[in-house]
Every structure is written in C-alpha cells, then in structure tokens.
C-alpha cells in the first residue's frame, strides 16, 4: 500500500507539473477548468493502481447491472462541465460522449461468469475503436488544438469498468514492481531492439535521426504515462488476458500480438514490427503479471523511436 501510494503520488505530481508547464498555467477563471479536469482524471488514473483504493471503490459501487452507471454519469458530467468551460461543447457532442461512455458499461452486462471474456472483449472494443477510428469529436483541453482529453477520459473509464465495476482478474495494474520485473522488462527491450532495429533500418521504415536534448530526459517517463500504460492496459491487461483465458496463455500471447500489430495498419512494415513488439510486451506481461512492467518495455521502445529514429 505504501509503495503503491507513494509511486502514484509522485507520478501524479509529475503529470500535473508537465500539464501546467505545457499549458502555461491557468490564466483566467475558465483556465482553471482544464487544470481541475486533468487533476481529477490523473488522480483517478493513478489512484486506481492502489489496491486499497480499488477495494474501497468496489465496496461502494451499486450492485447488479447498475454497478458502473453512477460513475458513468459522474464522468460524463465532469467532461461536459470542462467542455462548456473551454467552449467546445455542443448538444451533438454531449450525446455522443454520453453514448460512448454508456455503451461499454452496458455491454459488460450483469455480474456472472457466462461469456465473461467475450463480453469483456466486446466492451473493450466499444471503448477503443471509436478513438482508433476517430468517430468522436475531439475534446481539446485548450481549444482548438490542445491535447485531446477524450483519450484520458476513455482510459479512466476503462480502468473503473475493468478494475472496479466488473473486476477482471490478472490485469496487474500495480506499481509494486520487483527487481526481476524490471530486469525482464529491460531484457525484453534489448532483445526486441536487437531484431527490430536492423529490420526497420534494412526495410527503410526507420532511419537514424538523433535528437538528444535535455528535454529528452523526461521523454521515457512521459511516454510511460501517456502511451505505455494506457496501451498495455488495453492490449495486454484486457485483450491478451481475456484471449488467454479463452484459448490458453500461448494463444492469448500470439493473438494479442497480432491484434496489436493490426492496430498499426496500413504500413505492413509497421504491422510486422508492432506485432513483434507485442510479443515482447506480452511476454513481459505473462512473466511478471503486471502491465506496469510491460509498459516499461513499451516506453523504452517508443522513447528510442522518438529520440533516435524517424520514419
């Protein structure tokens, strides 16, 4: 509990510092709305990594089919308050956001084990595909081209659905990492880089383009929070986890890696490298039982790409 809480608190401070520095800080009454919105989302995002927080949230949730409905309504209301404060809200957007948040909550269905994995996968797809296919209007924190908070809203909603409302065993969202977990994550990164770098350079998909600056020192941590953990939660914690329960661990790893690769269409070279990366991330997840460990490998790969390479 102490380790989880301490790490979550530090990461929350880092996230808020980055946001406030990047946005220039609140400069008006309306400017406070995005800061408070991000603070609430970041607190929920990182707070749900703490086992005691999840347990208390589960104890307070309604029973039955309505387990996620109060949370869904609260998240939608907070989203709309921020959207109105920043001037991006319209009636059409409000309804679209409401449907987007409500659909996966209803698709999960009532408690029980019948078709649980299938329902989980369908609900995860309902949460992921609208963002992947850009079916929803963006929710910029600082209009017109600020960070799209809809991604963070979806992440927080997914964490609540699969960790609190309908807890999915084996997700492994905890910052209580062992030394062996970190060692396996870094070892998988080295093994992947040894294969992917020559392949990417040989096919012309990658090219050396070093951009090592003082700001680059913070890149791995930011990628870990913004890309690594969210994608590992979806692709390993939910998809690979559920497929493994349906078809076995090896098939779950293989199928989950293919799904991850196909998410990087249309370039076949990108699909191949991403599928191979999915194998590395999935192996770390299987061996450690923690998406926070596989996210280390994920962040190391993406940070190497950002700092040293270009397409």
Whole-structure pTM value? 0.95
- Shared domain for 15 and 57, answered yes or no, is yes
- The answer, yes or no, to whether residue 84 has pLDDT greater than 80, is yes
- Shared domain for 79 and 203, answered yes or no, is no
What is the per-residue pLDDT across 202-238, written as a single tens digit (0 to 9) for each?
A: 999 999 989 888 777 888 999 999 999 999 999 999 9
- The answer, yes or no, to whether residue 297 has pLDDT greater than 60, is yes
Q: Averaged over 93-114, what is the pLDDT?
A: 86
- The answer, yes or no, to whether residue 170 has pLDDT greater than 90, is yes
Residue 127 resides in a domain: yes
pLDDT band at 10 (very low <50, low <70, confident <90, very high): very high
pLDDT band at 7 (very low <50, low <70, confident <90, very high): very high
Domain hosting residue 244, numbered range: 179-310
- Shared domain for 25 and 129, answered yes or no, is yes
Of 165, 193, 217, the one marking the end of a domain is 165
Residue 149 resides in a domain: yes
**H-state helical runs in 136-178:** 150-160
pLDDT band at 27 (very low <50, low <70, confident <90, very high): low
Residue 172 resides in a domain: no
């Amino acid at each position: 509990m102490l380790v989880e809480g301490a790490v979550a608190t530090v990461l929350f401070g880092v996230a808020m510092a980055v946001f406030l520095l990047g946005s220039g800080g609140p400069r008006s009454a309306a400017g406070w709305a995005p800061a408070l919105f991000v603070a609430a989302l970041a607190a929920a995002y990182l707070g749900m990594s703490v086992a005691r927080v999840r347990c208390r949230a589960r104890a307070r949730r309604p029973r039955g089919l309505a387990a996620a409905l109060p949370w869904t309504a609260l998240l939608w209301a907070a989203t709309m308050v921020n959207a109105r404060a920043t001037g991006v809200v319209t009636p059409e957007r409000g309804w679209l956001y409401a449907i987007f948040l409500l659909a996966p909550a209803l698709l999960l269905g009532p408690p029980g084990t019948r078709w649980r994995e299938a329902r989980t996968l369908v609900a995860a797809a309902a949460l992921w595909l609208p963002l992947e296919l850009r079916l929803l209007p963006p929710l910029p924190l600082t209009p017109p081209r600020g960070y799209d908070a809809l991604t963070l809203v979806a992440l927080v909603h997914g964490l609540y659905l699969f960790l609190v409302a309908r807890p999915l065993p084996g997700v492994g969202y905890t910052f209580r990492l062992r030394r062996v977990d970190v060692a396996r994550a870094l070892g998988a990164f080295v093994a992947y880089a040894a294969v992917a770098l020559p392949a990417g350079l040989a096919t012309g998909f990658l090219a050396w383009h070093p951009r090592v600056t003082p700001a680059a020192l913070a890149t791995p941590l930011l990628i870990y929070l913004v890309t690594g953990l969210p994608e590992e939660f979806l692709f390993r914690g939910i998809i690979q986890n559920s497929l493994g329960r349906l078809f076995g661990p090896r098939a779950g790893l293989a199928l989950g890696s293919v799904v991850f690769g196909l998410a990087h269409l249309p370039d076949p070279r990108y699909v191949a490298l991403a599928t191979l990366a999915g194998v590395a991330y999935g192996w770390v997840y299987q061996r450690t039982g923690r998406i926070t460990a596989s996210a280390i490998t994920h962040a190391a790969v993406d940070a190497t790409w950002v700092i040293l390479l270009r397409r």
